[in-house]
């Protein structure tokens, strides 16, 4: 492919096709008929000299060349949008898709305020929330997602901004042998733990703190969601150490109770992560402002369960 022969207007369609891996779904997202999107795919195949999407028994698969192109597009497309948009951004007319990676803590705690503000200001915007993973920082680096929300600070060059502070409580079954209002380290050492692991375990705050304190629970349950940890607790001896705000949402659930965590567990900042290339992008600045406003509105956690 030579740049003089390329139609840059096709890049957005290519981005959607490679993401959806389905002509009909890509056509719907791109507001084209299926036949028009099929013609667009044919032009893209001719432009790149590659099949890009290969039909299989279960749909379409990306060719090796398409996978390489997709990785590049994830970094290039935000820059092209910023270049074309310039300094003008009107959330009221924006039709982009915003991608955010986070745990289920965020939609539960930050979501009500965030969703209300975002869709009030930008009613035509699409928001996709994806789970944090061991690849989250790489996804932000490569432009696969716009933001990540996490208590784990990223490596350079990624940027971090604190939204609010949070602390931990312990959640356990109402009939658990431990009945104290505040648990001790010995309690955490004596009973199995329900851990939420969405990145590498060594990056998760609770697991890391337990390791620093030399505590190895006798056995454990590892789940990818905070809600799953809560669900596992009734009628077991499991103990989950969870963010206070999330735990309070389940304070009235039958079968569980909330106790203060050992004093060795301190408060921690919860923050938003992005790539510095987007710092001055008007759309991204607006998005970060909406997230920060929602974070400012979150209640301050106080001791007492």
Confidence of residue 191 (pLDDT cuts 50, 70, 90): very high
Higher pLDDT, 31 or 149: 149
What percentage of residues in the chain have a pLDDT greater than 90? 56
Confidence of residue 3 (pLDDT cuts 50, 70, 90): very low
Q: Kindly state the average pLDDT of the residues 25-51.
A: 87
pTM: 0.74
Query: Does the pLDDT at position 52 exceed 70?
Result: yes
Q: Kindly state the average pLDDT of the residues 116-145.
A: 91
**Phi then psi dihedrals of residue 97, to 5 deg:** -105, 125
Dihedral angle, C-alpha 90, 147, 97, 67, nearest 10 °? 140
Query: Does the pLDDT at position 304 exceed 70?
Result: no
Beta bridge partners of 270: 164
Q: Kindly state the average pLDDT of the residues 126-149.
A: 90
Higher pLDDT, 257 or 22: 257
Lowest mean pLDDT segment, chosen from 81-85, 223-227, 241-245? 81-85
Can you give the pLDDT at residue 233? Answer: 97
Confidence of residue 57 (pLDDT cuts 50, 70, 90): confident
Buried b (16+ CB within 10 A) or exposed e, 153-166: ebeeebbeeebbeb
Contacts of 138 by beta carbon, 8 Å cutoff, 6+ apart: none
Average pLDDT along the chain: 88
Buried b (16+ CB within 10 A) or exposed e, 44-81: beebbebbbbeeeeeebebbeebeebbeebbeeebeee
Which two three-digit tokens encode residue 185? 């380290």
Contacts of 76 by beta carbon, 8 Å cutoff, 6+ apart: 11, 143
Q: Kindly state the average pLDDT of the residues 296-303.
A: 74
Confidence of residue 7 (pLDDT cuts 50, 70, 90): low
Can you give the pLDDT at residue 84? Answer: 61
**What Rg do the C-alpha atoms of the chain give, in angstroms?**
23
Can you give the pLDDT at residue 1? Answer: 45
Can you give the pLDDT at residue 159? Answer: 96
Spatial contact of 173 and 180, defined as CB atoms under 8 Å apart: no
Query: Does the pLDDT at position 2 exceed 80?
Result: no
Lowest mean pLDDT segment, chosen from 58-62, 118-122, 154-158, 186-190? 58-62
Query: Does the pLDDT at position 4 exceed 70?
Result: no
Confidence of residue 98 (pLDDT cuts 50, 70, 90): very high
Spatial contact of 176 and 185, defined as CB atoms under 8 Å apart: no
Q: Kindly state the average pLDDT of the residues 91-104.
A: 92
Q: What angle is formed at CA 285 by the lines to CA 281 and CA 288, rounded to 5 degrees?
A: 140
pLDDT digits (tens, 9 = 90+) for 58-97: 778 999 998 888 888 876 776 676 666 556 789 999 988 8
């Amino acid at each position: 492919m030579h740049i003089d022969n390329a139609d840059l207007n096709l890049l957005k369609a290519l981005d959607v096709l490679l993401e959806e891996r389905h002509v009909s779904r890509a056509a719907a997202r791109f507001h084209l008929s299926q036949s028009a999107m099929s013609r667009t795919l044919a032009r893209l195949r001719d432009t790149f000299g590659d099949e890009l999407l290969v039909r299989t028994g279960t749909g379409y698969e990306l060719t090796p060349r398409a996978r390489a192109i997709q990785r590049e597009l994830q970094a290039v497309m935000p820059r092209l949008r910023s270049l074309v948009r310039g300094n003008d951004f009107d959330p009221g007319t924006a039709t982009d898709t915003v991608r955010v990676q986070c745990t289920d803590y965020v939609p539960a705690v930050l979501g009500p305020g965030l969703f209300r503000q975002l869709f009030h200001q930008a009613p035509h915007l699409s928001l996709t929330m994806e789970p944090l993973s061991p690849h989250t920082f790489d996804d932000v680096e490569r432009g696969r997602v716009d933001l990540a929300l996490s208590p784990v600070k990223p490596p350079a060059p990624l940027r971090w901004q604190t939204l609010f502070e949070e602390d931990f409580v312990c959640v356990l079954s109402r009939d658990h042998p431990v009945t104290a209002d505040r648990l001790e380290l010995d309690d955490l050492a004596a009973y199995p733990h329900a851990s939420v692991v969405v990145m590498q375990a060594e990056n998760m705050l609770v697991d890391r703190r337990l390791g620093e304190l030399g505590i190895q629970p006798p056995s454990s349950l590892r789940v990818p969601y905070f809600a799953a940890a809560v669900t596992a607790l009734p009628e077991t001896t499991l103990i989950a150490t969870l963010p206070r705000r999330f735990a309070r949402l389940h304070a009235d659930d039958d079968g569980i109770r909330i106790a203060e965590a050992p004093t060795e567990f301190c408060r921690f900042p919860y923050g938003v992560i992005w790539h510095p290339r987007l710092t001055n992008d008007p759309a991204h600045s607006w998005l970060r402002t909406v997230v920060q406003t929602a974070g400012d509105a979150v209640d301050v956690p106080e001791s007492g369960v």
